[in-house]
Amino acid sequence: MEASTTPVKSGAAGAATFAGSDSRKFNYYDPKGRKATHYEDVTLDVQPDPERYLLQDWIINFSDGTPTYSKDWTRCKSADWHKYRSVDQEWEKTHYQRQSTICGTIQSVIENGRRSGAATRFDKSWVKVLQDHLGAYKHAEFGLGTSLMQAQRYGYTQMINNVILTNSSYKLRFAQDLTLYLGEIGLDIEGGIDKDAGKRNWLENPIWQGVRRSIEEIMGATDYVEQYVAINLVFEPLIGELFRSGFILQMAAASNDFITPSVVSAAESDYERNLANTVEFVHTLLNDSQYPLHNNIIISEYIDKHAKLAHAAALQLQPLWSLPRVKVATFADSYDRARNRFSHVLTECGLQVPTLA
CB count, 10 Å around CB of 157?
21
Helix axes 206-220, 197-204, angle to 10 degrees: 80
Residue 83 lies in a domain: no
Distance CA 330, CA 318 (A): 9
Residue 9 lies in a domain: no
- Do residues 320 and 207 make contact, with C-beta atoms less than 8 angstroms apart? yes
Residue 84 lies in a domain: no
CB count, 10 Å around CB of 285?
24
pLDDT by residue for the chain (357 residues), tens digit each?
Answer: 555 556 556 666 666 665 566 766 656 778 888 888 989 988 888 877 888 877 778 878 888 888 888 999 999 999 999 999 999 999 999 999 999 999 999 999 999 999 999 999 999 999 999 999 999 999 999 999 999 999 999 999 999 999 999 999 999 999 999 999 999 999 999 999 999 999 999 999 999 999 999 999 999 999 999 999 999 999 999 999 999 999 999 999 999 999 999 999 999 999 999 999 999 999 999 999 999 999 999 999 999 999 999 999 999 999 999 999 999 999 999 999 999 999 999 999 999 999 987
Q: What domain range includes position 281?
A: 92-349
In the 3-class helix/strand/coil scheme, how is 34-83 assigned residue by residue? CCCCHHHHHHCCCCCECCEECCCCCCCECCCCCECCCHHHCCCCCCCHHH
Distance CA 236, CA 37 (A): 30
Helix axes 260-286, 158-185, angle to 10 degrees: 160
Whether the full predicted model's pTM is greater than 0.85, yes or no, is: yes
Distance CA 64, CA 57 (A): 16
- State pLDDT tens for residues 56-112: 788 788 888 888 889 999 999 999 999 999 999 999 999 999 999 999 999 999 999
Residue 330 lies in a domain: yes
CATH code (residue 226): 1.10.620.20
Residue 44 lies in a domain: no
For residue 81, give every residue at least 6 positions away whose Cβ sits within 8 Å of its Cβ, in sequence order, or none. Answer: 71, 156, 157, 160
Distance CA 137, CA 132 (A): 9
Enclosing H/E stretch for 300? helix 292-316
Instruction: Check residue 55 and give its pLDDT.
Output: 73
CB count, 10 Å around CB of 38?
12
* Structural domains in the chain (count): 1
Instruction: Check residue 53 and give its pLDDT.
Output: 74
Select from 328, 233, 311 the least CA-distant residue to 277.
233
Phi/psi of residue 49, nearest 5 degrees: -150, 125
DSSP 10: -
Residue 47 lies in a domain: no
Residue 285 lies in a domain: yes
Residue 355 lies in a domain: no
CB count, 10 Å around CB of 319?
12
